[in-house]
Amino acid sequence: QFADGYFAMVITGPWNLGEFRRRLPADRQGDWAVAPLPAVTEADYPGVSLAGGSSLVVFGASPHKDAAFRLVEFLTDARQQVRFYTLTGDLPARTAAWDDPALAGDPKLQAFRTQLEHVRPMPQVPEWERIATAIAEAAERVILGRQSVDRSLDELQAEVDRMLEKRRFLLDRTTREGKR
């Protein structure tokens, strides 16, 4: 729908760069650009993004801790992250890798480099994926004109409160019991 001009903009991530380059016709390639997320005020620009991706871990009980740690070091080395980018298009998490000409020379990547300085970890609650889905669905209803912003936010707040009700109860109970 973005390619058809139905949406003037779309909030997405670096995983869509390759899709835009592959799917948009050649005569439309110059018609799109990338920018960091907006913020509520100009002083707060760019806005905050949630860190995504995957984690590399070495289990404490692993019989091959040294080898696993060396693999993690290898995979997180800036040179290897640049190489991985050239092979897959996945952007590096290491800021040092962004100075490589393979990345620094592409203006469409610079918004993601800027955004990388303004990320926060995802909320560490098991309900997060359900909450993120609810947020996306609420935004879609507003964007498509099916619901007002205020009604959508009110319903979203109620839905998220229901999702977190049990967790809040357990945390409150644990806190009260800890004070005894």
pLDDT of amino acid 21: 84
pLDDT digits (tens, 9 = 90+) for 49-76: 888 777 889 999 999 999 999 999 999 9
Question: If you average pLDDT over residues 20-39, what whole number do you get?
Answer: 88
What does the alpha-carbon distance between residue 73 and residue 156 come to, in Å, rounded to a whole number?
A: 41
| CA dihedral (4, 116, 52, 44) positive or negative | negative
Write out the residue range of the structural domain in which residue 145 sits.
Answer: 123-180
Same domain, 101 and 156: no
Q: Which candidate, 38, 14, 37, 17, places its Cα nearest to that of 29?
A: 17
What does the alpha-carbon distance between residue 68 and residue 74 come to, in Å, rounded to a whole number?
A: 10
pLDDT digits (tens, 9 = 90+) for 83-130: 998 888 888 888 899 999 989 988 889 999 999 889 888 888 889 999
Question: If you average pLDDT over residues 130-138, what whole number do you get?
Answer: 95
Domain end: 103, 122, 141, which one? 122
Domain end: 74, 104, 122, which one? 122
Dihedral, CA of residue 107, residue 41, residue 117 and residue 119, to nearest 10: -110
Percent with pLDDT over 90 in the chain:
49
Domain end: 80, 105, 122, which one? 122
